[in-house]
Amino acid sequence: MRAVLQRVTQASCTVNGQITGQIDAGFLILLGIEDADTDEDVQWLAQKITGMRVFGDENGLMNKALADVNGRILLISQFTLFAQTKKGNRPSFIRAAKPDKAIPLYEKMIYALKTLTGNEIATGIFGADMKISLLNDGPVTIMMDTKDKENH
C-alpha cells in the first residue's frame, strides 16, 4: 500500500461536476493498493498518517500532528501509484489491486482514519474520473509505503 500525503490548506474532489469531498487544512492523501496488501497494512498506514508531525508549531517547526491542528483528510484512491515504468513509455499497472480486492481495503482505510481522527473522512469515488483541486501548503509532500514497515 502506498500513500502520498500532501499537507494542504484546502482540497476537493469533483466527479461529473459535483463535489464529492472537500476539506480545509489537513491532508490530501492519494492511496494506492496492491494485491499483497492486508488489513495489517491498513492499520499500520492509518496510524502513521494520523501520527505524522508535519504541521507548524508556534515556532514554525513541523512538530504538530493532524489532531493538534484540527486537520481533516481527503482520501483519494489512486491505482496509478503502482505504475511500473521500467520498460517502454506506457506504464503497466499489473501490481495494482483489482477493485474486488482494493475496494474493501479502501473502505477499511476510511474507517480506520475516521476511528483514529474522530472525524468524517472526505473521499472521492473509487474508480471514477476524479478532478482533484488542492492548495499544497509548504509544499509538504510525503510518500509512504507499507513495505517500509518491515525495515523498522
Q: Where do the structural domains in the chain lie, given as residue ranges?
A: 2-142
Q: pTM of the full predicted structure? A: 0.93
pLDDT tens digits along 27-57:
999 999 999 999 999 999 999 999 999 999 9
Strands 2-15 and 26-32: antiparallel
Catalytic residue numbers read: 80
Which three three-digit cell numbers place residue 118?
A: 474522530
For the 2-142 domain, the top CATH level (class) is alpha beta
What pLDDT digit, counting tens, does each position of 42-95 carry? 999 999 999 999 999 999 899 999 999 999 999 999 998 998 888 889 888 988
How open is the CA angle 55-60-63, to the nearest 5 degrees?
40
